[in-house]
Structure 1
Amino acid sequence: MTDTTSPAAFTELVNLAARTLGAGVVAANDELFAEKENLIVAAPAEFRPHTFGHKGQIMDGWETRRRRGAGADEPHPTDADHDWAIVRLGVAGVVRGVVVDTAHFTGNYPETGSVEGASVPGAPSPEELAAAEWTELVPRTTLRGDTAHEFPVELEQRFTHVRLNIWPDGGVARLRVYGEVVADPRDLDGLTFDLAAQESGGVATGASDRYFSSPHNLNSLGRAAVMGEGWETRRRRNKDHDWVELKLAGEGEVLAVEVDTTHFVANCPGWASVSGRDGSGEWFDLLPRTRLQPDTRHRLRVTPQRPVTEARLNVFPDGGVARLRLTGRLTEAGRAALALRWLNLVPAAEAEQALAEAGLSAAEAASVSAARPFADAASARATVDALQPQDTPDGADTTRRRAAIWRLLGV
């Protein structure tokens, strides 16, 4: 039985199924008692007793009708009969753990459940998702009522959607899908963007204090609607300061910094600085210690010194910050590393399509895809160079193939 007495380590990662990142519940076979959209509501589920609507007690979750058998002689559902809901992840990524929360469902929770994942690029319809290839993330397992079930996942694959299955029927309050964002490098080509943003793969990796709210709020999408949607520390009683460290989407050059204290009025830090770190492990200033004003977006241009892979926001002495933005651009090495990770993690069909679109033949794309995972960009290029020549002039194949892998990986 899953231990639910303490949070699993994966719950400290980004919730890929957060509506603030763009997640949505795109389909469900039934939602007669309670709407499927409740599954990804950010707040914990609530219960208000004796609150009845036209279809019964109003539940803060997703709840299906009671299943019945084929007829009077077979009144019970079969072992295969089950309900399901499909969630589009806000950002695609590697799933490290899932929480299936049956909070407040006591006499109406499912007997068992499972979770599957699929990778379908673009904006597929429910019909296209139904026909997709689904991979088991959490095998069918027993569920309990009023319990947050934590399931670690150990699959090295990128997913865009998850499907929650429940047998034979019942209700689930919340579904959380924690993991690591894996952006499509083609979406970032030639752009300046927020290198720290969750949607691009930036993630908070450590913080001195998270008493009032999570450091993951710092690099969420959009602006904070209330103070609780930022990062805030307790009041410091010594002469030190607070900080958050973030891993960036990839190695890049920071061109501008935004420190947003919106909604923080009497608890805004007095000053802030931003440091960067590269492969050497040495921290250096991106933004020197700068005076902050309450409830203000501070937007500051900076001069790139050298590429960074990590950043650290320091606030003096304590307080709250709504958002941190680090606008910049990937280096060639950063773009190549991002692309290689993406290529290694997408399903074979998706990798073959991307390689074919870059310029390889279908047969060549299938051969390169089958050779994954690649340890580094050089091994990917070597695999392309080793492909058998086609009926083209001498050297033309190698030139074409190298151009194709360069377009995809930048090597």
Structure 2
Amino acid sequence: MTESQQPAAFTELVNLAARGLGAGVVDANDELFAEKENLIVAAAAEFRPHTFGHKGQIMDGWETRRRRGAGADEPHPTDDDHDWAVVRLGAAGVVRGVIVDTAHFTGNYPETASVEAASVPGHPSPAELAAAEWTEIVPRTALKGDTAHEFAVDSEQRFTHVRLNIWPDGGVARLRVHGEVVADPRDLDGLTFDLAAQEHGGVATGASDRYFSSPHNLNSLGRAAVMGEGWETRRRRNKDNDWVELNLAGTGEVLAIELDTTHFVANCPGWASVSGRDAASGEWFDLLPRTRLQPDTRHRFRVAPQRPVDGARLNVFPDGGVARLRLTGRLTEAGRAALALRWFNLVPVEEAVQALTDAGLTRAEAASVTGARPFADAASAQSAVAALAPADTPDGAETSRRRAAIWRLLGV
């Protein structure tokens, strides 16, 4: 394991604004020259000179019309005039960094830009998003043409949407929003699901090799459409093997494993094994022993329930490519509670209050519990409930109601 490559920068985290993860550009004030949807295209922006359409040079990005002032006496836009586009993240989470890429925009890039973020649960309309409370995560900053600008973000909050603002107008090729997925525990209650999936919070944390493609592809949504959408290593010239380690969405029991080598024909690994990381001891043990793989094949294996795991490691022998790794299973009670506590600590105040109210607390009780955040563990959450005003019923019914409500939401 001497070749471990741990993520050293936010660019190695999951792109929450990836179309393949379910992101979408839901609104923009203008897109006359080039469509807003180009902002989240997976591939790098391209430029073909002297390729003109009815609105001018075709640009691979989002480009707005040139702004003008109010009239002949004021032909220039004001300092506040700007354009914007709103992106629904494919998975809600904590944003660690943003890339605003002006690739191929030279005489038509914005002078400055900023990025805001909001948490709006459900499936909000553009009007509802416009009325939301937005938090600035990247302050207004000067841009350069044909440049990928990287901005680190320091905000411990869960967001569902981001808004790119540009002054006064112009074009941006791509927007990347890297961070950590934070799933809503209510979406996973009672379900078996892919514990390794990006959309639920699974993430590749290390790999022996990522020469041809990223290990983040292993737990992406859907099936790989081409070989480049999987994880592939260079040809190994020693007697070791390649591997990827992942943190799971939460502590759980693995019930089935899928190893998909679709599109990998002459470069499929000969064999593979999958290990689980014991959630209590941190020790590794076999979930799937070394097993022969076939090229261009979805391999499915049932797994007898074993010790709860919070991580997994895919080993391939000796090298090659795998399109997808799926670990179907279910959260343990402790895993569900840990996921719920993290989510509850990171959502905005009003969202947290509403969630507790929906679970059965009064609004005053919900506000009191929310005010005690962040909770380090289950005990601190239980203490916040115990600290509520004394129940007014001698039979303990109110205490039982409160405990039931906090259990429904946080599992503690």
With structure 1 as the length reference, what TM-score do the two structures score? 0.97
Aligned to 1:3: none
Q: 2:121 is paired with a residue of what secondary structure?
A: coil
Letter matched to residue 164 of structure 1? L
Aligned to 1:311: 312
Aligned to 1:221: 221
Q: Structure 2: how far apart are the matches of 1:267 and 1:289?
A: 18
Q: Is the 8 A contact 2:27 2:87 kept in 1?
A: yes
The superposition leaves residues 335-357 of structure 1 with CA deviations (integer Å, 9 ceiling, x where unpaired) of: 00000000000000100000001
Q: Is the 8 A contact 1:158 1:346 kept in 2?
A: yes
- Kindly state the Cα deviation for residue 390 of structure 1 after the two structures are TM-superposed: 4.6
Q: Is the 8 A contact 1:252 1:308 kept in 2?
A: yes
Q: Structure 2: how far apart are the matches of 1:394 and 1:113?
A: 60
Aligned to 2:107: 107
Q: Structure 1: how far apart are the matches of 2:266 and 2:332?
A: 39
Q: 1:116 is paired with a residue of what secondary structure?
A: strand
Letter matched to residue 24 of structure 1? G
**Poorly superposed stretches of 4+, deviation over 6 Å:** none
Q: Structure 2: how far apart are the matches of 1:392 and 1:30?
A: 59
Aligned to 2:3: none
Aligned to 1:65: 65
Q: Structure 1: how far apart are the matches of 2:364 and 2:135?
A: 25
Q: Structure 2: how far apart are the matches of 1:150 and 1:394?
A: 59
List alignment gaps of at least 5 residues for structure 2: 1-6
Q: 1:267 is paired with a residue of what secondary structure?
A: coil
Q: Is the 8 A contact 1:8 1:150 kept in 2?
A: no
- Kindly state the Cα deviation for residue 389 of structure 1 after the two structures are TM-superposed: 2.7
Aligned to 2:98: 98
- Kindly state the Cα deviation for residue 394 of structure 1 after the two structures are TM-superposed: 4.1
Aligned to 2:380: 379
Q: Structure 2: how far apart are the matches of 1:393 and 1:350?
A: 32
Q: Structure 2: how far apart are the matches of 1:323 and 1:194?
A: 11
The superposition leaves residues 160-181 of structure 1 with CA deviations (integer Å, 9 ceiling, x where unpaired) of: 0000000000000000000000
Aligned to 2:34: 34
Q: Structure 2: how far apart are the matches of 1:289 and 1:312?
A: 12
Q: Structure 2: how far apart are the matches of 1:145 and 1:268?
A: 41
Aligned residues: 405
Letter matched to residue 400 of structure 1? R
Q: Structure 2: how far apart are the matches of 1:316 and 1:348?
A: 49
Question: Root-mean-square deviation (CA), in Å?
Answer: 1.0
Q: 1:405 is paired with a residue of what secondary structure?
A: helix
- Kindly state the Cα deviation for residue 280 of structure 1 after the two structures are TM-superposed: 1.2
Letter matched to residue 42 of structure 2? A
Q: Is the 8 A contact 1:259 1:321 kept in 2?
A: yes
Letter matched to residue 233 of structure 1? T
Aligned to 1:25: 25
Q: Structure 2: how far apart are the matches of 1:315 and 1:149?
A: 36
Aligned to 1:339: 340
Letter matched to residue 81 of structure 1? D
Aligned to 2:193: 193
With structure 2 as the length reference, what TM-score do the two structures score? 0.97
Q: Structure 1: how far apart are the matches of 2:30 and 2:72?
A: 23
Q: Structure 1: how far apart are the matches of 2:54 and 2:215?
A: 41
Superposition map of 1:216-255 within 5 A: 216-255=216-255
Letter matched to residue 138 of structure 1? V
Aligned pair 1:78/2:74, yes or no? no
Superposition map of 1:359-370 within 5 A: 359-370=360-371
Aligned to 2:323: 322
Q: Is the 8 A contact 1:40 1:176 kept in 2?
A: yes
Aligned to 2:409: 408
Letter matched to residue 83 of structure 2? D
Letter matched to residue 101 of structure 2? D
Aligned to 2:275: 275
Q: 2:222 is paired with a residue of what secondary structure?
A: coil
Q: Is the 8 A contact 2:52 2:58 kept in 1?
A: yes
Aligned to 1:202: 202
Q: Is the 8 A contact 1:275 1:286 kept in 2?
A: yes
Letter matched to residue 181 of structure 1? V
Letter matched to residue 266 of structure 1? A
